[in-house]
Amino acid sequence: MADAPETGTAAGAARLPHVAGFARWPMGGAPKEEGRALRRRVPRSAHARLPYDPGRPGAVAAVERSNEGRLPELVPLRVGRMAASPFAFLRGAAGLMAHDLAGTPVTGVGAQLCGDAHAANFGLYGDARGGLIMDLNDFDETVHGPWEWDLKRLAASLVLVGREAGADEDTCRAAARDTVGAYRHTMRLLAKLPVSDAWNAIADEELVSHADARDLAGTLERVAEKARRNTSARFAASATEPVPAPGGPAGGKASGPPARRFVDAPPVLRRVPDGEAAAVVSALAEYLATLPEDRLPLLARYAVQDVAFRVVGTGSVGLRSYVVLLLDHLGEPLILQVKEARASALVPYLPAVGFPAPAMVHEGRRVVLGQKRMQVVSDILLGWATVAGRPYQVRQFRNRKGSVDPAALAADQVDDYGRMTGALLARAHAHSADPRLLAAYCGKNDELDEAVAGFAAAYADRAEADHAELLAAIRAGRLPAELGV
């Protein structure tokens, strides 16, 4: 009779990888050495480069192209919002920046990207137990690609935010540099933690002290207090009105709370025809099938009341986006957002830097899975659906969401905000890229910080020139724009 296999011993552990099945287990390699080796192939100083492409599309042409497929009546609103400032232009021009980034050096290390990691796409939101989480909060452009692209977009946005706040150029460049420094320091911290601890690191108020963003603490407290009040109930109270329930067949009073319906508030919120509302409600059956089964009893206790169209964001203006009002047995509301999902604006530029374009997928599914890959805690009702042949993502609306308006920060707060967002971005990237590899590449000194800060200042100049071109086209009548809305 053969001896029983050893268990709980060094000899048994040594044999374990050779047991059937374990031979295929993904093994570690040497990420630290690989990261250091990458420095020889792509020096960190190379990230300062911003090549000029003579074939680069003009800003106006890029905006016109990105407007294709959007609702025509909302395009002037989108253009008007992009015209508000160079930072606002950057927010709506993710595809144009991806074109520019495709000419910059990359290490070849991939991560799940936000794809639109500018300074305004970070904020607070509620978890299932009522706590507040601080993290990236917009994933329309999410895709697997070069980690550097998110970092450079974030750094460039901080320079623009600083200029808008009236900070001098040294302060703006320092904000970009310290954003990258916080990214680098956080990646080193995550690389030193046990894998499970690094994976589950929660982005909460402790991050402020880690990022040395103490001057921002008061601003964050005010945003958090506002976020706690930013709920479905509060939105429903201002955006809906009661519809008295009809009497019963004998004229008696109907049981249960009165129904409610949305109230028109153009141009942001408008009621939709019955057929359009029915198409959205019908699509919720597909949405339910994308949720974990344990969420279904929760939603089964609500009844759909009404559907309205609601304009959102800057880059998203012109996409089809609905809010769906649900009420429970006590009349307490839950609002779902059903938002059109288009292909990521980064996709056409990925092959140029060695990343294959993703296979055709449901774009709502892409957004939802990308979000879950980057966040530690995500909305428990994230899912996707198809309405009239178009892909949509579905999520809670006003789930205690709050955000700092980076353009409204004082000049002396921009640097703190940059450090905080840099740390958040590192934590998000560490879910899909090994932090040991990226930490080894980024290194201990500030060579990468200085290089990306140089890129960020140069790109901010380019964004300002693009914005000026947009304003000239509006004045000339080439692009219709609704300003100040």
Reported as a single tens digit per residue, the pLDDT across 156-169 is: 999 999 999 999 99
Label the pairing between strands 122-126 and 390-396: unpaired
Q: Residue 209 burial by CB count (10 A; 0-12/13-18/19+): exposed, middle or buried?
A: exposed
Residue 416 has pLDDT above 80, yes or no: yes
pLDDT score recorded for residue 245: 62
Separation CA 240–CA 225 (nearest Å):
24
Separation CA 485–CA 483 (nearest Å):
6
Local structure of residue 11 (DSSP, 8 states): H
User: pLDDT per residue over 280-338, tens digit each?
Assistant: 999 999 999 999 999 999 999 999 999 999 998 778 898 999 999 999 999 999 999 99
pLDDT, mean of residues 409-431: 91
Instruction: Please give the full DSSP string across 242-309, using - where no structure is assigned.
Output: EEPPPP-TTSPPPSSPPEEEE--BTTTEEE--HHHHHHHHHHHHHHHHTS-GGGHHHHTT-EEEEEEE
Alpha helix (H) residue ranges in 137-250: 147-164, 169-192, 195-199, 206-210, 217-229, 232-239
Strand partners, 265: 269
pLDDT score recorded for residue 292: 95
Separation CA 153–CA 97 (nearest Å):
8
- 411 φ, ψ to 5°? -55, -35
User: pLDDT per residue over 50-64, tens digit each?
Assistant: 998 999 999 999 999
Q: What residues have CB less than 8 Å from 309, skipping those under 6 apart? A: 269, 270, 271, 272, 320, 321, 322
Separation CA 340–CA 349 (nearest Å):
22
Q: What residues have CB less than 8 Å from 96, skipping those under 6 apart? A: 57, 59, 62, 66, 466
Residue 250 has pLDDT above 70, yes or no: no
Residue 476 has pLDDT above 50, yes or no: yes
Q: Judge whether 154 and 118 are in contact, CB under 8 Å.
A: yes
Structure tokens at 159: 């320079």
Q: 101: helix, coil or strand?
A: helix
Q: Judge whether 452 and 48 are in contact, CB under 8 Å.
A: yes
Q: Cα separations (Å) of 177 from 33, 75, 150, 422? A: 25, 35, 15, 10
Structure tokens at 444: 């201990």
Residue 218 has pLDDT above 70, yes or no: no
- 33 φ, ψ to 5°? -70, -40
